[in-house]
Amino acid sequence: MTIRTFSNALTILLFCCLFAACGQSTGSCVSPSGVTLQVLGSGGPIADDSRASSAYLVWIDGNARVLIDAGGGSFLRFGEAGARFEDLEFVGLSHFHTDHSADFPALLKSGNFSNRERPLPIAGPDGDGVFPGLKKFLAAMLHRNDGAYAYLSGFLDGTGGTPMLTSKEVAIGDAVILWSGDNLTIDGMQVPHGIVPAVAFRVRAGDTTIVFGSDQNGSDPAFVEFAKDASILVMHMVVPEDVSGVGRRLHAPPSVIGEIAGQAKPGRLVLSHFMARSLEDLQGNLALVRKGYAGDVTVAEDLACVTP
């Protein structure tokens, strides 16, 4: 690291502490007890910001039990976080944009070297138009006959002692329970993200609830109910306030994120999914968010640990 890059990194760190609550630390989230959100990837689809694309872990009592999204770069961050494939109870892929799903096959292959035998539950959206549903996405990668990674087909059919992926698709409509057991419940609902079927996930572990809003334009009031009183709400702040056209149909501007958080009243709001261009006026965008939401705000960084 050059002196200039070090100085830039220090400036960014100080900036984050000045303008966002510092309820996070970068490094290991392994703690013998409690629930912690770890950001694996705080970036978006452009490789210009030294951030991995979207991915998050939920650590429970020292184990990484839940993985939400597996965008590009999350393979590396997963290892850096000290997470283990065999500890995962659930994987949620919010949608099939590459910045939310492209590293999933790489993580599967890594998991092939673990001692896991039990199935791995996975959930994602159903399909629409050019966007596949979860089952078609998995088949396109893993099918024994014509999958791009047919050599990993055991994950689809359970052959060769490989842990099978047990998949559930989330359709438009009410929230549905996707996994339940052992003091952990996960449900999901579709959220509006242009023409792309996308799913928000809610992870309830003991007294802690973490809601992952995914990419969405913020137009569905049902999401506010879904996120109500969460301990932590993760929202993707991708576009500027004056966004229009396709960008607006895909994403909520900062003021809308603030309104959603203001109504849902989470204990902490985590803003994520940045690119260099969406960090240009971070301070201004944070001010717009704070107009609607007066609670604690964390600006996500890769590998940051966020506690309720």
Question: Interface residues with Zn ion (CB under 5 A)?
Answer: 97, 215
Nearer to Zn ion, 215 or 302 (CB): 215
Using CB atoms, what's the residue nearest to Zn ion?
Answer: 215
Give the Å distances, CA to CA, from 272 to 22, 239, 243, 267, 282: 14, 11, 17, 16, 11
Nearer to Zn ion, 60 or 275 (CB): 275
Nearer to Zn ion, 125 or 266 (CB): 125
CB of 46 to Zn ion, least distance (A): 12
Nearer to Zn ion, 97 or 268 (CB): 97
Q: What is the 3-state secondary structure (H, E, C) of the chain?
A: CCHHHHHHHHHHHHHHHHHCCCCEEECCCCCCCCEEEEEEECECCCCCCCCCCCEEEEEECCEEEEEECCCCCHHHHHHHCCCCHHHCCEEECCCCCHHHHCCHHHHHHHHCCCCCCCCEEEEEECCECCECCHHHHHHHHHCCCCCCCHHHCHHHHCHHHCCCEEEEEECCCCCEEEEEECCEEEEEEEECECECCEEEEEEEECCEEEEECCCCCCCCHHHHHHHCCCCEEEEECCCCCCCCHHHHHHCCCHHHHHHHHHHHCCCEEEEECECHHHHCCHHHHHHHHHHHCCCEEEECCCCEEECC
CB of 36 to Zn ion, least distance (A): 25
CB of 97 to Zn ion, least distance (A): 4
CB of 199 to Zn ion, least distance (A): 11
Nearer to Zn ion, 134 or 184 (CB): 134
CB of 245 to Zn ion, least distance (A): 15
Please answer whether residues 213 and 233 qualify as being in contact, where contact means their C-beta atoms are separated by less than 8 angstroms: yes
Nearer to Zn ion, 77 or 97 (CB): 97
CB of 237 to Zn ion, least distance (A): 13
Nearer to Zn ion, 78 or 96 (CB): 96
CB of 2 to Zn ion, least distance (A): 34
